[in-house]
C-alpha cells in the first residue's frame, strides 16, 4: 500500500486500513469510451451506486505521472474533458509515469493499480479480448494476459462482438481464468444479454461468487476471475440490429487500417454515432448494473476475509 507511485485518497486509504469493501473503476471508459459530458456524469453515478451499496469507489487514473486511486470531482472532470489523454496499457505504464504524463487506465492497468493498492474487486463495462481477424492482425488485448496473472476479480457485461468471443474464451481457458455468469448460463454480449456463447459456470448469488474468488486465491492460484453480469433486460439492444452495425464498423476499422490501441475507441465512437447514442445509453446502464453487483460481491468477499 505504501508505494511511491501511488496516490491513494483518504476515503480509500481508510477503507483499506479498516478492511472495508472497495470497488475499483477504470478511466479509459471515461477518456476514450464515452463522449463528454456523459462520461463524467456516468463516472459520478457509478461512484454513487457503489456508495449506496455499502462499498467505497476507487476510480483509477494517472495524473502528472502519479497513479491516483480515488479521484475527486475535478479530477474526474479533467479526465473526461481533456483531449489526448494517453490510453495506458501495461506497456505504456512505466513511460507515462516516468515522463509525468496523464493517462487513462484500461482494464489491464486498473488491475495492476488495484493490485498494488490492495483492491480486489473491479467493475467495468466490457473486457478487451481477442479481436476478430486476430489471425492476421495479432490484435489480442493485454487485458487477457493481466487476467491470467493479476489477482483482481473483474465484473463486466461480457464482451461485444467487435471481439472474437470464441477465441477470447479459449484464451481465458488456457490461462486458467474462470468466466462466471451471474444469474445466467450465457456469456453476455455487452449490449445484449446473449452472445451465442456460454459462461463457464452459472452462479446465482454473490456469496458463492465471492467464495469462488476467495478460494482461487487461497489455493495460491494467480490471476483473476471474470464475472459476467448481463445488461438489464429493459436496456438490452436487439442483437440483429447491433451486430450488423458492429460488423460494418469492424470492417471499416480494418479498411481504414486503424491499428493497435486505437481500434477499440474508434469502434465505440462509431457505434455511438451510428446508433444515435442508443449504444451509449445501453453502455451507461450496463456499467451501473455492474457497479451494483460488484459492490455486493465486494461486501461478501470482505466478510469472508474478516471471518477467516
How far apart CA 107 and CA 30 sit, in angstroms, is: 12
- Judge contact between 297 and 152, C-beta under 8 A: no
- The answer to whether 58 and 21 have CB atoms below 8 angstroms apart is no
Catalytic residue, chosen from 26, 47, 77, 146, is 26
Please, which residue, 15 or 132, has the CB nearer to ligand PSU?
132
Closest contact distance (angstroms) between CB of 259 and Mn ion is 8
Asked if the peptide bond before residue 130 counts as cis, ω within 30 degrees of 0, the response is: no
139 vs 146, which CB is nearer to Mn ion?
139
Q: Based on CB atoms, which residue is closest to ligand PSU, 16 or 199? A: 199
What does 142 interact with, of Mn ion, ligand PSU, none (CB < 5 to 8 A by kind)? Answer: ligand PSU
Give the CB-nearest residue to Mn ion: 139
DSSP letters for 9-40: -HHHHHHHHTT--EEEE-SHIIIIIS-TTHHH
Beta-sheet pairing, 66-69 with 86-88: unpaired
Name the burial class of residue 276, with classes exposed (0-12), middle (13-18) and buried (19+) by CB atoms within 10 angstroms of its CB. exposed
28 binds, among Mn ion, ligand PSU, none (CB under 5 to 8 A by kind): ligand PSU
Q: Which of 68, 87, 120, 160 is catalytic?
A: 160
Q: Provide the binding-site residues for Mn ion, judged by CB under 5 A.
A: 139
23 binds, among Mn ion, ligand PSU, none (CB under 5 to 8 A by kind): none
| 44: number of Cβ within 10 Å | 16
- Min separation Cβ 160 and ligand PSU, Å: 6
The CB-of-93 to Mn ion minimum distance in angstroms stands at 16
Q: All 3 cell numbers of residue 119?
A: 483492491
- Count how many Cα atoms sit within 13 Å of the Cα of residue 263 in the half-sphere of its side chain: 24
Which residues 6+ apart lie within 8 Å of 233 measured at CB?
193
Using the minimum distance from each CB to Mn ion, give the nearer residue, 244 or 259. Answer: 259
What is the binding site for ligand PSU (CB under 6 A)?
A: 26, 28-29, 33, 106-108, 125-126, 128, 141-143, 160, 190, 261, 264, 268
Select the binding partner of residue 223 from ligand PSU, Mn ion, none (C-beta < 5 to 8 A, by kind). none
Shortest CB 106 distance to ligand PSU, Å: 3
Q: Is 160 one of the catalytic residues?
A: yes
Could you tell me the smallest distance in angstroms from the CB atom of residue 256 to ligand PSU?
A: 16
Cβ closest to ligand PSU, residue 211 vs residue 275? 275
Given Mn ion, ligand PSU, none, residue 40, with its beta carbon under 5 to 8 Å by kind, binds none
d(CA 123, CA 141): 18
Q: What is the rounded distance in angstroms from the CA atom of residue 78 to the CA atom of residue 76?
A: 5
Active-site residues, by number, are 26, 160
Amino acid at each position: 500500500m505504501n508505494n511511491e507511485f501511488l496516490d491513494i485518497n483518504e476515503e480509500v486509504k481508510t477503507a483499506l486500513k479498516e478492511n472495508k469493501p472497495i470497488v475499483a473503476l477504470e478511466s479509459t471508459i471515461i477518456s476514450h469510451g464515452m463522449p463528454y459530458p456523459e462520461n463524467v456524469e456516468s463516472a459520478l453515478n457509478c461512484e454513487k451506486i457503489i456508495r449506496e451499496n455499502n462499498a467505497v469507489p476507487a476510480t483509477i487514473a494517472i495524473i502528472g505521472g502519479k497513479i491516483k486511486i480515488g479521484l475527486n470531482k475535478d479530477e474526474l472532470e479533467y479526465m473526461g474533458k481533456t483531449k489526448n489523454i494517453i490510453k495506458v496499457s501495461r506497456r505504456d505504464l512505466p513511460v507515462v509515469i516516468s515522463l509525468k504524463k496523464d493517462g487513462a487506465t484500461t482494464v489491464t492497468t486498473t488491475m495492476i493499480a488495484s493490485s498494488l493498492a490492495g483492491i480486489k474487486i473491479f467493475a467495468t463495462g466490457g473486457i478487451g479480448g481477442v479481436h476478430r481477424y486476430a489471425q492476421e492482425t495479432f490484435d489480442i488485448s493485454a487485458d487477457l494476459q493481466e487476467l491470467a496473472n493479476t489477482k483482481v476479480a473483474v465484473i463486466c457485461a461480457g464482451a461485444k462482438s467487435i471481439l472474437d468471443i470464441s477465441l477470447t474464451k479459449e484464451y481465458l481457458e488456457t490461462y486458467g481464468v474462470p468466466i462466471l455468469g451471474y444469474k445466467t448460463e450465457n456469456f453476455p454480449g455487452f449490449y445484449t444479454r446473449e452472445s451465442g456463447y456460454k459462461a463457464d459456470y452459472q452462479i446465482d448469488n454473490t456469496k458463492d461468487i465471492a467464495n469462488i474468488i476467495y478460494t482461487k486465491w487461497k489455493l495460491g492460484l494467480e490471476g483473476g476471475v471474470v464475472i459476467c453480469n448481463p445488461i438489464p433486460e429493459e436496456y438490452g439492444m436487439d442483437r440483429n440490429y447491433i451486430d450488423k452495425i458492429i460488423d460494418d464498423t469492424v470492417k471499416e476499422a480494418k479498411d481504414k487500417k486503424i491499428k493497435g490501441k486505437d481500434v477499440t475507441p474508434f469502434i465505440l465512437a462509431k457505434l455511438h454515432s451510428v446508433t444515435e447514442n442508443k449504444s451509449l445509453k445501453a453502455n451507461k446502464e450496463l456499467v451501473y448494473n455492474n457497479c451494483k453487483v460488484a459492490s455486493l460481491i465486494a461486501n461478501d468477499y470482505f466478510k469472508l476475509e474478516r471471518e477467516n
